[in-house]
Amino acid sequence: MNFFDFKFVANNQLHFGAGKFNLLPRLINSFGENLLLVSGGQSFKKTSHYKWLLNALENNSARIYCYSISSEPSPNQVDEMVQTYRKKNIRVVIAIGGGSVIDAGKAVSAMLTKNTSVSDYLEGVGAQTHDGKKIAFIAVPTTAGTGSEATQNAVLSLVGKKGFKKSLRHEKFVPDIALVDPELTLSCPREISAACGMDALTQLIESYVSIKSSPMTDSLALGGLRIMGNAVLKSAIIDPNDMDARTRLCYGSYVSGLTLANAGLGVIHGFASVIGGSFSIPHGIVCGTLLAQTTQKNIETLIRLDPESNLLLKYANAGKILGKTKKNNPIENARALSNLLMEWTQVLKIPLLGQFGITRDDIDKIVSVTGQKNNPVTLTKKDLKDILKNRI
């Protein structure tokens, strides 16, 4: 494939910066009066932003329907929401919350135009292809990690022995408007800030070294890494109220959504898809806990197979940016990246998989169905098992 032959999909509008939340009522009103507001279980509702928004919308005679979601959305939840609001003549869906909330709103926006179950359109589950018709959708993240405000897929989960974590996907599902206000992330607990920040970092690195990357995604990913830097450490450990760190983290998260949507991701998200369908574990923790080990395995495999490869050089570039190393040796810089990620995993106290009920007895099953699509190198089953063993 020609590196300079690519397609790029993004939001129609992005409003980014502290205080941008104040634009939301005007943006909503441009679509009509009937709106569905999807938010998280409790955290956002306890903020002054929530009360202010409801007052602003009521003053503009908007008819508001509210729905709360407190976990990663399931197909049944989406179907129930669609059934409840299908006849309400909804003109715009607004999702305010973390990645799960935005994914739920994205799926509802897509399915309000259909009369069947969302399961019929899920990749690897249903047999139908969605035509992309949807209700207008606005995404407002309150965490910095998933980048769902910039992606074209909604991830739905059914947890259990026959569980799955699959996507409803179409390029038209990219939110029409993304409103990213770093002030909304100030109330995030340390644990959530850490896991989400590592998720964003995972997405930037995986999309940068993806075999489907392009000049556009490479530029965005490197820029995202450069701006994000160690913001996850500052916002989760040093000073949760550091607005500069929160802003840089939000930027990195948004860009990671753009790059993953256009370049794809690697084996870390292959693991996450399988693990998330079988165990109740937050997506950010799966990615965060596996990032360093998987990056190290990819790098060492590339060094063994092709030490002069462009993909190894990419890891070296990321190492120079995040580690601020001045070494000129690509192998040393690439290894500096994996060492730095190991250090951050420890400092941020990212939990082990074993804390969520995953044992060594589960490893073979997880590895047997873990995909490596877009990963920079094909890892052996032993490699995959070693990664999991080191994080259980």
- The pLDDT assigned to 44 comes to 85
| Strand blocks (E) in the chain | 13-16, 34-40, 63-69, 92-97, 136-141, 153-158, 164-169, 177-180
Residue 297 sits at the vertex; the CA angle it makes with 323 and 339, to the nearest 5 degrees, is 25
Q: Is the pLDDT of residue 359 over 90?
A: yes
Q: Is residue 325 very low, low, confident or very high in pLDDT (cuts 50, 70, 90)?
A: confident
Q: Report the pLDDT averaged over residues 22-45.
A: 90
Q: Is the pLDDT of residue 60 over 80?
A: no
Report how far residue 38's alpha carbon sits from residue 268's, in angstroms, rounded to the nearest whole number.
29
Q: Is the pLDDT of residue 9 over 90?
A: yes
List all residues 6 or more positions away from 296 whose beta carbon is below 8 Å from its beta carbon: 335, 338, 341, 342
- The pLDDT assigned to 367 comes to 98
Structure token digits, residue 347: 């400092």
Domains recognised in the chain with CATH numbers: 13-185 (3.40.50.1970), 190-389 (1.20.1090.10)
pLDDT, mean over the chain:
95
pTM: 0.95
- The pLDDT assigned to 86 comes to 94
Instruction: Identify whether the C-beta of residue 119 lies closer than 8 Å to the C-beta of residue 72.
Output: no
Residue 4 or 238, more confident? 238
Q: Is residue 1 very low, low, confident or very high in pLDDT (cuts 50, 70, 90)?
A: low
Q: Report the pLDDT averaged over residues 381-391.
A: 98
User: What is the percent of the chain where pLDDT is above 70?
Assistant: 99
Report how far residue 306's alpha carbon sits from residue 218's, in angstroms, rounded to the nearest whole number.
21
Q: What is the pLDDT of residues 130-159, one digit of tens each?
A: 999 999 999 999 999 999 999 999 999 998
Q: What is the pLDDT of residues 157-191, one digit of tens each?
A: 998 877 899 999 999 999 999 999 999 999 899 99
* Sheet containing 34-40, strands listed edge to edge, beginning at the edge strand earlier in sequence: 13-16, 177-180, 136-141, 92-97, 34-40, 63-69
Q: What is the pLDDT of residues 38-58, one digit of tens each?
A: 999 777 888 899 999 988 988
Taking every pair of Cα atoms in the chain, the longest distance, rounded to a whole number of angstroms, is 65
Q: Is the pLDDT of residue 262 over 60?
A: yes
Q: Is residue 70 very low, low, confident or very high in pLDDT (cuts 50, 70, 90)?
A: confident
